[in-house]
Chain A
Amino acid sequence: MTGGFTAPQIDWAQLAPIIIVLGAGVVGVLVEAFVPRGVRRNVQLALTLLASAGALIAVAALWSGVRETGGTSVVGGSILLDGPALVIQGVVAALTLIALLVVADRTETGESAFAPAAAAVPGSDYEQLARRAGLEQTEVFPLIMFAAGGMMIFPAAGDLLTMFVALEVLSLPLYLLSGLARRRRLLSQEAAMKYFLLGAFASAFFLFGVGLLYGFAGSVRLDAIAEATTTVVGLDPLMLAGVAMLLVGLLFKIGAVPFHSWTPDVYQGAPTPITGFMAACTKAAAFGALLRVVYVVVPSIVWDLRPALWAVVILTMAVGTLVALVQTDVKRILAYSAIAHTGFILTGVVALTSSGITSVLFYVLAYGAASIGIFAIVTLVREVGPDGVVLGEATHLSQWTGLGRSNPWLAVTFSLFLLSFAGIPLTAGFIAKFTAFSAAVEGGATPLAIAGAVASAIAVFFYVRIIVLMFFTDAPRAGDRTGAEVTVVKSEGLTTVAIALTALLTVLLGVFPSPVLDLMAQAAKFIP
């Protein structure tokens, strides 16, 4: 064989955030293998918190370089470390750090949100034994690190194969984590199964799209494909089908209609701390990748794709908002609200302007922080069994009646997050929606901004309904209750810190958004 191989020059420092997080995952597996059971959880928690903080610092250290040069191409172009990629990496690192606090919290009941022995048959004697022995699946920590590592590569991928590998690295741990809920085991396993099957299906679409685009452009690199869209003639159907299938895979991950059907079931069935992690970090990463594909590959063919993209945006906002109106389960309401927000963020994506990128980057941070906070609060509201034992989460809406009187602080914070979701001024959600809609107007997508405003107005109804229920509706008398008694458990402190941090972020980003917006505006440029 005659030589075609030259070893790529790898600038390892540019990969530091990714390597730190994935390295922590690998070390975490070794911790599972060698550290005694008693201290495993504490070691894992310290390791993962340090790793996410380290990744955040590494992102900050790389920031000035990226701002000056506009970004560098690493590992022969497989990783493109430019502004949007670095910002998404920072958002994922920061939100993972906060989400880990909620994941680790055992609350005053001494039991984590995860099954003691996830392989046990639900309801079996073995499961009971494992619970009484106080077993814990501390594997959740390395799994979260692997998922976060994939999420950091996903928006930075410079070719479609790297993007596909990142997609799988972030998805596989999430499928598993969805099935690990301590309570309602069957629902959780069903959620994991659905997520896995539909996710595998979406991945297949993505991969087929990659294949078609390779056939079209003769390369899987995004810049080569973008160039081919203007130079290659006569293969348009191949290119359009390829891009469309690629977008199906990406739209599935962000949960846009019509690829949203997994969202409510998975958000409801997954352990609540994981739901928060997924809602925040998966969305940020997938939007990063979607931005790159749309802004690098699509611009020259945007007129072909525009009707389809617009239809997806409007449908996503409409379905998310309207179906949320009739839900009675708190986690399902938040899931449909997540779908509606996907639609709002998408208005910034299809704007195809640099302010569109800024708005998406800001929106995923604002939405992600509020999501982790709101799901963290859901983990604390519990049912109580007849013998006074604290059971699983009380997620039925009626069980939240009167919570504002018994637990004012909790209810006020919950309302803050809801108001941010609704986009009320002085919260991060308002600034996020405002920048997204104005970017859409600037990019010539005014109908989408109008549709978004209408959907937001309708969405206010179900957010405010929960607030009214908590504060202004009389709690039913003890005898009238249909469900179990409800209590609010104390956290070990970690969840409280997470809720405080996310609430602070929500207010700060709402009142003083300009430093963060400026920072993201500086980052809003993709390198090809």
Chain B
Amino acid sequence: MTNPYVPILVMMGVAGVMALGGVAASAIIGPKRYNRAKLEAYECGIQPTPHAVGGGRFPIKYYLVAMTFIIFDIEVVFLYPWAVNFTELAMFGLVAMMGFLFLITVPFVYEWRRGGFEWE
């Protein structure tokens, strides 16, 4: 009687051999002909630019966009299951959710008052 987990182990072994073997084989027997283009950093379809002076900083606006996204993202993560179980959770769920929505609005208000939405 074989253990039902044996096929899974075999599967994992095969996956490991495929993954590592492919890399190893191409490293050992693959041809290596370098040219300038191959050695450059990969940029999707545009010319790679050298690092900006001062460590390649980018505008902080993008960071704010990401932060705002997280506020709404977290909100939606909880809103979906709440909406699905709305009837069952009843009043308790409604009050808890309103409390959560209020709390998540607080950082949003902070961002708005501090000018986080002004692009220029």
Partners in one complex: yes
B68-118 contacts to A (CB < 8 Å): 85, 88-93, 103, 106-107, 109-110, 112-114
Q: Closest chain A residue to B55 by CB distance?
A: A121
A214-231 contacts to B (CB < 8 Å): none
Residue among A3, A5, A26, A119 making CB contact with B106, cutoff 8 Å: A26
Residue among B54, B85, B92, B110 making CB contact with A32, cutoff 8 Å: B110
Write out the residue numbers on chain A whose beta carbons fall within 8 Å of the beta carbon of B85: 1, 5
How far does the Cβ of B4 sit from chain A's closest Cβ, in whole Å?
17
How far does the Cβ of B58 sit from chain A's closest Cβ, in whole Å?
13
Write out the residue numbers on chain A whose beta carbons fall within 8 Å of the beta carbon of B93: 7
How far does the Cβ of A124 sit from chain B's closest Cβ, in whole Å?
8
Does B9 interact with chain A (Cβ within 8 Å)?
no
User: What is the bound-complex CA distance between A1 and B107, given in angstroms?
Assistant: 35
Contact A119 B92 (CB under 8 A): no
B19-76 contacts to A (CB < 8 Å): 54, 57, 60
Contact B110 A33 (CB under 8 A): yes
How many chain A residues sit at the interface, stated as a range, is 10 to 19
Contact B92 A7 (CB under 8 A): yes
User: What is the bound-complex CA distance between A119 and B114, given in angstroms?
Assistant: 14
User: What is the bound-complex CA distance between A34 and B89, given in angstroms?
Assistant: 35
Contact A33 B109 (CB under 8 A): yes
Q: Closest chain B residue to A1 by CB distance?
A: B88
Q: Knowing A34-B113, A121-B54 touch, does A29 contact B107 (C-beta < 8 A)?
A: yes
The listed residue with most A CB atoms (<10 A of its CB), out of B93, B106, B113, is: B106
Write out the residue numbers on chain A whose beta carbons fall within 8 Å of the beta carbon of B110: 29-30, 32-33
Write out the residue numbers on chain A whose beta carbons fall within 8 Å of the beta carbon of B113: 32-34
Residue among A5, A29, A32 making CB contact with B89, cutoff 8 Å: A5
How far does the Cβ of B80 sit from chain A's closest Cβ, in whole Å?
15
Q: How many A-B residue pairs have CB under 8 A?
A: 32
Residue among A26, A32, A34 making CB contact with B103, cutoff 8 Å: A26
The listed residue with most A CB atoms (<10 A of its CB), out of B54, B57, B85, B110, is: B110
User: What is the bound-complex CA distance between A121 and B60, given in angstroms?
Assistant: 12
How many chain B residues sit at the interface, stated as a range, is 10 to 19
Write out the residue numbers on chain A whose beta carbons fall within 8 Å of the beta carbon of B60: 119
Contact B57 A121 (CB under 8 A): yes
User: What is the bound-complex CA distance between A5 and B85, given in angstroms?
Assistant: 10
How far does the Cβ of A73 sit from chain B's closest Cβ, in whole Å?
18
User: What is the bound-complex CA distance between A33 and B114, given in angstroms?
Assistant: 7
Contact A5 B88 (CB under 8 A): yes
Write out the residue numbers on chain A whose beta carbons fall within 8 Å of the beta carbon of B114: 32-33
User: What is the bound-complex CA distance between A298 and B61, given in angstroms?
Assistant: 49
Contact B109 A30 (CB under 8 A): yes
User: What is the bound-complex CA distance between A7 and B91, given in angstroms?
Assistant: 9
How far does the Cβ of B77 sit from chain A's closest Cβ, in whole Å?
15
Contact A29 B88 (CB under 8 A): no
Q: Closest chain A residue to B89 by CB distance?
A: A5
A2-61 contacts to B (CB < 8 Å): 3, 5, 7, 26, 29-30, 32-34
User: What is the bound-complex CA distance between A64 and B85, given in angstroms?
Assistant: 40
User: What is the bound-complex CA distance between A119 and B93, given in angstroms?
Assistant: 39
Q: Closest chain A residue to B103 by CB distance?
A: A26
How far does the Cβ of B109 sit from chain A's closest Cβ, in whole Å?
5
User: What is the bound-complex CA distance between A152 and B114, given in angstroms?
Assistant: 30
Q: Closest chain A residue to B95 by CB distance?
A: A7
Write out the residue numbers on chain B whose beta carbons fall within 8 Å of the beta carbon of A30: 106, 109-110
Contact A3 B54 (CB under 8 A): no
User: What is the bound-complex CA distance between A29 and B109, given in angstroms?
Assistant: 9
Write out the residue numbers on chain B whose beta carbons fall within 8 Å of the beta carbon of A29: 106-107, 109-110
Q: Closest chain B residue to A30 by CB distance?
A: B106
The listed residue with most B CB atoms (<10 A of its CB), out of A1, A30, A33, A119, is: A33
Q: Closest chain A residue to B111 by CB distance?
A: A33
Write out the residue numbers on chain B whose beta carbons fall within 8 Å of the beta carbon of A3: 88
Q: Closest chain B residue to A27 by CB distance?
A: B106
A122-176 contacts to B (CB < 8 Å): none
How far does the Cβ of A403 sit from chain B's closest Cβ, in whole Å?
40
Write out the residue numbers on chain B whose beta carbons fall within 8 Å of the beta carbon of A26: 103, 106
Interface residues of A (CB under 8 A from B): 1, 3, 5, 7, 26, 29-30, 32-34, 119, 121
The 6 closest A-B pairs by CB, nearest first: A7-B92, A33-B113, A33-B110, A29-B110, A33-B109, A5-B88
7 CB contacts below 8 A, A to B, read: A5-B85, A5-B89, A7-B90, A32-B113, A33-B110, A33-B113, A121-B57
Known: A7-B91, A119-B60. 12 other contacts (CB 8 A): A1-B88, A3-B88, A5-B85, A5-B89, A26-B103, A26-B106, A29-B106, A29-B110, A30-B106, A30-B109, A33-B109, A33-B112
Interface residues of B (CB under 8 A from A): 54, 57, 60, 85, 88-93, 103, 106-107, 109-110, 112-114
